[in-house]
Amino acid sequence: MNDVNDAFGRVINYLRVSVTDRCNLRCVYCMPPEGIGPIAHDQVLRFEEIARVVDAAVGLGVRRVRLTGGEPLVRRGIAHLVALLRRLRGLEELSLTTNGILLADMAAELKHAGVDRVNVSLDSLDSERYAAITRGGSLPRVLSGIETARQVGLNPVKVNMVVMRGVNDDETLAMARQSVEQGWHVRFIEMMPLGIAQHLCGESEGSLDGFEARVVSNSAVRSGIESFYGALEPTELASGGPAETWRVPGSGGSIGFISAVSHGFCSSCNRLRLTSEGGLVPCLFSDAVVDLREPLRRGADLAELQTLIRSAVALKGSGHHLAEHRVETDHEMSRIGG
């Protein structure tokens, strides 16, 4: 297995795979109420095609793969894809991010097929507010999914909260409390200016003006938690990603902060993203993309796929330009998997 480094010396060992652009929710920062026009079925990668890409990536040193969407659990037969990927030698971790609506029904099957752990998106602990943010989601179903996932061994189950000023920022302490009382592994995520989220406040194209009014820095979130619980202490929970993880002293859970806007982590970025239609994306905040679908469907072998993956790695920039109030992408979160 040969590690691949980008032009800035970062080792690329993590691949996020969007298996579908479709979702059973319409979260306010991700989709308009009517949703986004779906990609045609024949334009979406087949499971065997995804497995070929992942096989090529693993051969280049990718050790961790995360399945995302849209909502990955709405893709029929997703456990079959999990089983295909689990057979690949060299893949050390296979995880999945879900909104949790279907998780209680599928957790055992996913565990049996080979998923190691899951992240669950949960932006409110209030049923009415959760339904409003997701435009129809059921909080009891998500809570049931989290508990079922824990029971079947999809651990650590991580719970992701996108914090939005004036929407749910008054719930950060309540969410942190779950790490103490329920042993949850909570992650606070700063809202990122992608797609729908970028235009929540009607700001001008390519600018962050106005968007910042919605963003709550994780420094402020942490300050609020520590004002109640006292200083957080470091945890030993492995992250492998951008989260800085802490815990309330003595608690069984953890509290993580993913701070792409206020404290960019580009210098340690270790990932690529495969879209559901076969585009390999080197950065969330860039429109650069390498097409893999056409080569796959004309029979590209492993070596050609690896050459294309290397070309995507070469397109990774030193970092995004959020500090300069510039957004250089039209990516929709629902289609790139976050």
Residues 270-305 pLDDT 10s:
999 999 999 999 988 788 999 999 999 999 999 999
The answer to whether the CB of 72 falls within 8 A of the CB of 102 is no
State the pLDDT at residue 317. 86
Number of other CB atoms surrounding residue 195 within 10 Å: 20
DSSP-assigned letter for residue 286: B
Structure tokens at 70: 């849209």
ω into 70 cis (within 30 of 0): yes
Surface-to-core class of residue 289, CB atoms within 10 Å of its CB (0-12 exposed, 13-18 middle, 19+ buried):
buried
Long-range contacts of range 191-194, CB-CB < 8 Å, 24 or more positions apart? Answer: 191/29, 191/162, 191/163, 191/164, 191/215, 191/216, 191/261, 192/260, 192/261, 192/284, 192/333, 193/261, 193/322, 193/327, 194/284, 194/285, 194/329, 194/331, 194/332, 194/333, 194/336
How big is the CA angle at 11 (ends 307 and 338), to the nearest 5 degrees?
Answer: 85
Compute and round to an integer the Cα radius of gyration of the chain: 19
Poorest-pLDDT segment among 34-48, 66-80, 316-330: 316-330
Burial class (CB in 10 A: 0-12, 13-18, 19+), 144: middle
> What is the total count of domains within the chain?
1
Overall average pLDDT of the 190-211 stretch = 57
Using a pLDDT cut of 70, give the percent of the chain over it.
86
pLDDT per residue over 3-49, tens digit each?
Answer: 788 988 999 999 999 999 999 999 988 888 888 888 999 999 999 99
The tokens for 164 are 């939005």
Per the model's pLDDT, the better-predicted residue between 308 and 7 turns out to be: 308
User: From CA 176, how far away is CA 333, in angstroms rounded?
Assistant: 25
Residue 238 scores a pLDDT above 70: no
Contact 185, 156 (CB under 8 A): yes
For the beta carbon of residue 155, count every other beta carbon within 10 angstroms.
15
Q: What is the dihedral of CA 130, 133, 134, 138, to 10 degrees?
A: 10
Looking at residue 131, its pLDDT comes to 98
204 lies in which domain range?
4-336
Q: For residue 109, what is the domain's CATH number?
A: 3.20.20.70
Q: For residues 205 and 323, give the distance between their C-alpha atoms in angstroms, rounded to a whole number.
A: 16
Give phi and psi for 271, each to the nearest 5.
-130, 160
Residue of higher predicted confidence among 238 and 79: 79
Structure tokens at 237: 């929970």
Quote the percentage of the chain above a pLDDT of 90. Answer: 72
pLDDT for 267 equals 80
Q: Which residues contact 288 (CB under 8 A, 6 or more apart)?
A: 281, 282, 312, 315
Q: Which helix (H) or strand (E) holds 332?
A: none
Rounded Cα distance between 221 and 152, Å, is: 31
- pLDDT tens track for 167-186: 999 999 999 999 999 999 99
pLDDT at 207 over 80: no
How far apart CA 202 and CA 192 sit, in angstroms, is 15
**CB of 248 within 8 A of CB of 186?**
no
Q: Which two tokens stand for residue 133?
A: 């943010």
- pLDDT averaged over every residue in the chain: 89
